[in-house]
Chain A
Amino acid sequence: MSKIHVSTTVNGDATEYLCEPTSSLLDVLRDTMGLTGSKEGCGSGDCGACTVVLDGEMVCSCLVLAAEAEGRTVATIEGVAEGSVLHPVQQKFLEHAALQCGFCTPGFIVAAKALLDRNPNPTETEVRYWLAGNLCRCTGYDKIVRAVLDAAAELRQERTPA
């Protein structure tokens, strides 16, 4: 079977690639484009380590065919910071020590940013249910939830006129 040509936008950059019809978006991000920040923990959409945002919707990139990205926009962990300036979610993950091994962290940060983009003032329960698709085996989630709530507070302050 011949490869499929795809034109898409990844982290704001127009991008083209050839992919197998069976390749997942995660495979292409990691193996073709070298964007290894999105991780494969399961390949079945159960762990959230590969979370990206596709046309504004949070998805597991292991469950999206690479060919489905044609004409769409993809946002990955590599695009969350603006240059060297960390997004508040990233900064709060560091300040709260919300990571131990760090393998699930990119997926959590992409998911948490997607939450705060649509709900700037989530409750603890809303944070926990929004992040329930992301597995972390190290932290027990305590410091992750605190980091997200703190990032939300910081983002809200930025929106308030001084």
Chain B
Amino acid sequence: MNAPETMKQFRPKGFRHVGTRPVRPDGVDKVTGKALYSPDFKAPGMLWGAILRSPHPHARIISIDTKKAEALVGVKAVATGRDLPTLESLVMHVGEGASDIVDVSHNCLALDKVLYEGHAVVAVAATSPEIAREALGLITVEYEELPFVLGVEEALAEGAPVLHDNVFTKGVEPKPEKPSNAAMRVEMGGGDVEGALASAAATVTERYTLEPVHQGYIEPHACVASWNGDGQAQIWTSSQGHFAVRSLTASVLAMPQSDIRVTPLEIGGGFGGKTTIYLEPVAMVLSRKSGRPVRLAMTREEVFRATGPAPGAVIDVRIGADAEGTLVAAEVEFLYHSGAYTANDAGAGVSSAIGHYRIANTRVVGTEVLCNRPAAKAYRAPGAPQVNFAVESAIDELAGKLGIDPLELRLKNAAAEGDPQTSGLPWGRIGWVECLEAARAHPHWSAPLGPNQGRGIAGGYWGNYGGPSTVNVSVAEDGTITVATGSPDIGGSRASMAIMAAEVLDVPYEQVRSVVADTASIGVSMVTGGSRTTFATGMATVQAAEDVKSILCQRAARMWGVSDDQVEWRSGAVVCLEGEKQGQSMTAAAIAGRSFHSGGPIAAVAALSAKGWLPGFGVHICDTEVDPETGHVKIVRYTAIQDVGTAIHPDYVEGQMQGGAAQGIGWALNEAYIYGKNGKLDNAGFLDYRMPVASDLPMIDTVMVEVPNPAHPYGVKGVGEVPIVPPLAAVANAIHGAIGQRLRDLPMVPDRVYAALHPEG
């Protein structure tokens, strides 16, 4: 164990609840198996659905014959892309990234073409899962196979098969004359990159590559839908945002949003991958056709073949510094896999590349490239880890050339509040320098290394987000408090909401219970994504709790017959400051118990679009040990340092940092989509898509640096996404430290490391 007690060093400052570590309110359900996740839900009379998927990476659908399947006893409905309405193009922003609703529809059920192996083509609903699967075998789909393309450079080459004849590179003016696989292009920067590089004392010019990786949530996608003849429907599903499920499903089906009630079930991991829909419109159509609730669920293999991986990338970096180590210029050009549809990760990639350094001359260009793979989807800091791997590797290479300590080179050039980002806008109150200083002071940074071991460091950031959230805080007749939000709890947010409401009201944590309400029971809330929930939904929780506090004060004043300014909230009760009743106090229980006769029930709704979010920064230190005989890399020590603003529930902040680091380590060392020459995915299962297991990792030490966000009542900054950004380069830099060779292609699997160790072959 390498992280003894440092994890518990954080102490709250001036708070009663913020910064404490109470047990989460949904905890007992989750350790006893009672909690209901998406695949656990069943409705009375429910049918079981199944989906027939394309065996080809790219093909035109000539015909679909479902007659035999429909005739099978027990089959109640069959649906194809023809059963979904024809839609006008409309780009919807529901969370991380944006999607054209036409693409969302065609991804749920292909219309004329299949664009990747695993693309959904036909769905059936039957009285048992066995019958549904048997029915799939009775369906005949005639395809005209088309040439396919998997790599980003190949997809841009002259003569490459073009996936969509209506895609003309977004972001290029004037609009290109011909459609292409370049879905969008984003460019930022300024100054004279060429001139500055020409006069630099040291430069690095290298190419870095990454393969697509999957979010790897353990809960496969599943839903139950029930759509009645009167047009009203219910959907039970887990997602990162049930309002996004509602708006996307309603848009795909061209129906009013208020006719769909989405009940959020517990979510078994998402990491960005559950900010979209795959199954819901299909289950809805099957339900409408059969008149019964329909369950659709994916197998693990379907999850790998048909849901969104994070983009792979080809990234070219040129970076230079003067002899003292001041960075003078940087150019980053990258191509990201977009898969079958435009994914919108390029913009975030561009703004996440080199903004953490003060560099006068910059040029960052990102292009998203369509190819015959499942449509890329958000994965924890979507678009940032790829480009950060390239830049933070190049910085390490540059430090080596300059003979400067890699941490000191970063610190010398680190951006601080007021410095310009790549976009030119100034940074707000960021904690990047503080994180680097914490890394330098950490015992890990100066600890001795053993044989075959090396140490790497990398820093990274993510912009985070705010946005719309609705929260209802209500007081029960006995004075206990319920906080209802529209934000799915993916890692402890019920606890952090209860902590913040208890902090405002100065009542015991257990007096506040927090629930996730369905789309008919609370106002619109954006997805749990963008590291926004504790910040934005937390802001709404604080506001609604403050409003409840005001109402309680007004009611007490009325009962005492004094004016509102003659009372005050102290230690969880209203205190009378003047008059006959001076010094008396009234608790929430006393006020709420009489509320029916003194103004009615006590509740407040805060519906807001949270502003003032700040980016998060992290620095990771990694020690690797490389087996010279096999090329196997072992992570022997790992420390994640991050500016978290204020940690509301430190256990869950640490948990985000540790989990993000583990995912990044997996990306660095093992994980990759592997395709055969036939365009089919060869590793669509957890045995061959190798995510880190407990024996692969050491304890992951965490240091929470707190540079509070002045725009949040408790100083919150988003924490969830930052920790997946630095690990890729931290591991690569540590391997370089161990073997003296630079690996620029992920994943750094043993055969690649072995080849680097034995260049003679």
- Using a CB–CB cutoff of 8 Å, the interface residues on chain A facing chain B are 20, 22, 30-31, 35-44, 46-47, 49, 76-78, 80-81, 86, 90, 93-97, 99-106, 109, 124-125, 127-129, 131-146
Interface stretch, picked from B28-36, B69-77, B504-512, B596-604, is B28-36
Tally of A-B residue pairs with Cβ under 8 A? Answer: 187
B484 to chain A, nearest CB (A): 20
CB <8 Å contact, A140 and B686: no
The contact of B33 among A38, A138, A142, by CB within 8 Å, is A38
CB <8 Å contact, B695 and A128: yes
Known interface pairs A96-B651, A140-B662, A141-B662. Does A37 touch B693 (Cβ–Cβ under 8 Å)? no
- Chain A CB count within 10 A is highest, among B21, B33, B266, B270, for B33
Does B27 make an interface contact (CB < 8 A)? yes
CB <8 Å contact, B218 and A86: no
CB <8 Å contact, A102 and B218: no
CB proximity to A under 8 Å, residues B125-161: 130
Q: How far is it, in angstroms, between the C-alpha of A137 and the C-alpha of B485 when the chains are bound?
A: 25
In the assembled complex, 20 residue pairs joining A and B whose CB atoms fall closer than 8 Å, in A order, are A36-B36, A37-B32, A41-B219, A42-B686, A94-B24, A96-B651, A97-B655, A101-B267, A101-B270, A101-B491, A102-B35, A102-B266, A103-B217, A103-B219, A131-B693, A131-B695, A135-B686, A137-B216, A138-B655, A145-B699
CB <8 Å contact, A124 and B659: no
B720 to chain A, nearest CB (A): 10
- Chain A CB count within 10 A is highest, among B270, B491, B659, B700, for B659
Does B300 make an interface contact (CB < 8 A)? yes
Main secondary structure of the interface of A (DSSP, over half): loop
A104 to chain B, nearest CB (A): 5
CB <8 Å contact, A142 and B700: yes
Known interface pairs A36-B33, A86-B28, A132-B693. Does A140 touch B269 (Cβ–Cβ under 8 Å)? no
List A contacts of B491 (CB < 8 A): 100-101, 138
Q: Can you name 17 extra interface pairs (CB under 8 A) apart from A90-B32, A100-B656, A139-B659?
A: A36-B36, A41-B268, A41-B686, A44-B685, A46-B685, A47-B686, A97-B21, A101-B217, A103-B219, A105-B31, A124-B699, A128-B697, A131-B694, A135-B218, A137-B215, A139-B662, A145-B694
List A contacts of B658 (CB < 8 A): 139-143
Q: Which residue of B lies closest to A42 (CB)?
A: B300
Q: How far is it, in angstroms, between the C-alpha of A43 and the C-alpha of B298 when the chains are bound?
A: 11
Q: Which residue of A lies closest to B33 (CB)?
A: A37
Q: Which residue of A lies closest to B665 (CB)?
A: A140
Main secondary structure of the interface of B (DSSP, over half): loop
CB <8 Å contact, B655 and A100: yes
CB <8 Å contact, B39 and A102: no
Q: How far is it, in angstroms, between the C-alpha of A115 and the C-alpha of B612 when the chains are bound?
A: 48
List B contacts of A127 (CB < 8 A): 694
List B contacts of A137 (CB < 8 A): 215-218, 269, 271, 659, 663, 691
Does B40 make an interface contact (CB < 8 A)? yes
List A contacts of B21 (CB < 8 A): 97
0/1 interface trace, chain B 691-727, chain A, CB 8 Å (1 if under): 1111111011000000000000000000000000000
CB <8 Å contact, A101 and B694: no
Q: Which residue of A lies closest to B271 (CB)?
A: A137
CB <8 Å contact, B33 and A78: yes
B724 to chain A, nearest CB (A): 11
Q: Which residue of B lies closest to A45 (CB)?
A: B687
Known interface pairs A41-B300, A103-B268. Does A94 touch B28 (Cβ–Cβ under 8 Å)? yes
Q: How far is it, in angstroms, between the C-alpha of A31 and the C-alpha of B41 when the chains are bound?
A: 10
Q: Which residue of A lies closest to B657 (CB)?
A: A140
List A contacts of B30 (CB < 8 A): 99, 102, 105
Q: How far is it, in angstroms, between the C-alpha of A78 and the C-alpha of B28 when the chains are bound?
A: 12
List A contacts of B42 (CB < 8 A): 31
List A contacts of B691 (CB < 8 A): 135, 137
List A contacts of B651 (CB < 8 A): 96-97, 143
List B contacts of A76 (CB < 8 A): 33
Does B23 make an interface contact (CB < 8 A)? yes
CB proximity to A under 8 Å, residues B36-81: 36-37, 39-40, 42
The contact of B31 among A94, A128, A143, by CB within 8 Å, is A94
Does B661 make an interface contact (CB < 8 A)? yes
Pairs A-B, 10 closest by C-beta atoms: A37-B33, A103-B268, A140-B662, A102-B30, A97-B651, A140-B658, A46-B686, A100-B491, A77-B33, A36-B40
List A contacts of B1 (CB < 8 A): 124
CB <8 Å contact, A90 and B695: no
0/1 interface trace, chain B 680-691, chain A, CB 8 Å (1 if under): 000001110001
List B contacts of A132 (CB < 8 A): 693-696
Q: How far is it, in angstroms, between the C-alpha of A149 and the C-alpha of B428 when the chains are bound?
A: 42
CB <8 Å contact, A40 and B31: no
Q: Which residue of A lies closest to B651 (CB)?
A: A97
Does B299 make an interface contact (CB < 8 A)? yes
Known interface pairs A100-B491, A137-B269. Does A93 touch B218 (Cβ–Cβ under 8 Å)? no
A97 to chain B, nearest CB (A): 3
The contact of A22 among B26, B35, B130, B692, by CB within 8 Å, is B130
Q: How far is it, in angstroms, between the C-alpha of A142 and the C-alpha of B649 when the chains are bound?
A: 17
B700 to chain A, nearest CB (A): 5
Q: How far is it, in angstroms, between the C-alpha of A86 and the C-alpha of B692 when the chains are bound?
A: 29
B641 to chain A, nearest CB (A): 15
Does B559 make an interface contact (CB < 8 A)? no
Q: How far is it, in angstroms, between the C-alpha of A97 and the C-alpha of B649 when the chains are bound?
A: 10
CB <8 Å contact, A141 and B216: no
Q: How far is it, in angstroms, between the C-alpha of A86 and the C-alpha of B300 when the chains are bound?
A: 31
List B contacts of A106 (CB < 8 A): 31, 33
B47 to chain A, nearest CB (A): 13
CB <8 Å contact, A39 and B37: yes
Q: How far is it, in angstroms, between the C-alpha of A43 and the C-alpha of B33 when the chains are bound?
A: 18
CB <8 Å contact, A140 and B700: yes
Q: Which residue of B lies closest to A96 (CB)?
A: B651
Q: How far is it, in angstroms, between the C-alpha of A145 and the C-alpha of B24 when the chains are bound?
A: 19
Q: Which residue of A lies closest to B34 (CB)?
A: A37
List B contacts of A97 (CB < 8 A): 21, 24, 492, 649, 651-652, 654-655
A10 to chain B, nearest CB (A): 13
List A contacts of B270 (CB < 8 A): 101
B611 to chain A, nearest CB (A): 28
List B contacts of A144 (CB < 8 A): 694
List A contacts of B37 (CB < 8 A): 36, 39, 103
Does B220 make an interface contact (CB < 8 A)? yes
B610 to chain A, nearest CB (A): 23
